[in-house]
Amino acid sequence: MSKRLIDLQHITKSFDGQTILDDLNLYIRENEFLTLLGPSGCGKTTTLRIIGGFETPDQGNVIFDGRDITNLAPNQRQLNTVFQKYALFPHMSIAQNIAFGLKIRKKSKSYIEDKIKYALKLVNLEGFENRSIDSLSGGQQQRIAIARAIVNEPKVLLLDEPLGALDLKLRQDMQYELIRLKNELGITFIYVTHDQEEALTMSDTIVVMNQGYIQQIGTPQDIYNEPVNAFVADFIGESNIINGFMLKDRLVQILDVKFPCVDEGFGCNTPVDVVIRPEDVELVSPEQGMLKGHVVSLIFKGVHWEMEVLANGYEWLVQTTQMHPVGAHVGIRVDPFNIQIMNKPESNDERAVVSDV
């Protein structure tokens, strides 16, 4: 297992009296692709800026490879940042943009030329040295911003919503490019996004944040299949989140119907949140269902149908490859392993503290 490279210890940060990060603790391993994911204002970009040295925490320490770098300037840290707006110099050629940091470090001309060629080959833009920035597409400009960062051989690359300005197809292409670059370069990527699909596609580890707290840390599979609370379940993909009662171990009551499940340790007659993913709702004939209902809406999504099924007063979101027309009477069945039980939060910003990955 890779060693810890970055350790954020008890980080607190406020702006204008508003707490953005509240006693945040997080470590990041060497060669890891870690994504900070959450809604606007959750503290993910502030966390990235503290790692990069662009902000100083009010309390806490940033440890990098065993050394306290909390008060070091950004240019004294072994990392580089790629921003959403690229921050390229329009009056410089592509080669000059890439060479900028190397010239500041007074590297030789031959060293710089070799590095430019190496970086352009890595981002699949060989032969672009003398082109102007204005002649490039958004995706190409993003690649140049990444090339400029990696020629400095950072141990860590910080990426602040770098694909946000690209259209869908380019964004998907760049996701795969970033995975390839991370694997080829063997450096640590710390990535900020509010796009759940992006996080699930690229990450080794996802850190879900909300209101300045870490809600859950895990692999993409853990985060999606085993959310620790309703916020994570709702934020990562689509979910049916229903009030329920844990009657006893392995038996939950949902919408006045008893469903077998696999969860234990919630006590008896305990109010809980029940999470069922739309792809895990099985539509059967009414007499075979645990619940009976009818289809109230239907949308074709290409690889599946998405429909809403009204059953026992609740509109279930269902994703299935089997089409049922609006008005059709159906039964709902859910495998016990696909029912996720979670404790109800005591407050809106309750900290759902997390296990190490």
CA–CA distance, 333 with 279 (Å, rounded to integer)? 12
Q: pLDDT tens-digit profile of 226-282?
A: 999 989 998 998 899 999 999 999 999 999 999 999 999 999 999 999 999 999 999
48 three-class SS: helix
Residue 316: pLDDT over 50: yes
Render pLDDT for 116-145 as a digit per residue (tens, 0 to 9): 998 898 888 888 998 998 888 888 888 888
**Coil, strand or helix at 183:** helix
Q: Which fold has domain 4-225?
A: Rossmann fold (3.40.50)
When pLDDT is cut at 50, 70 and 90, the band that residue 346 belongs to is: low
pTM (2 d.p.): 0.85
Domain boundaries, the chain: 4-225, 239-343
Note the pLDDT tens digit of each residue in 85-120.
667 888 899 999 999 888 888 889 999 999 899 889
- How far is Cα 104 from Cα 116, in angstroms, rounded to an integer? 15
Mean pLDDT of all residues in 275-301: 96
Listed residue (304, 302, 303, 311) closest to 276, CA to CA = 311
Specify which residues 276 forms β-bridges with: 240
Query: Looking at the domain 239-343, which fold is it?
Result: OB fold (Dihydrolipoamide Acetyltransferase, E2P) (2.40.50)
Confidence of residue 177 (pLDDT cuts 50, 70, 90): confident
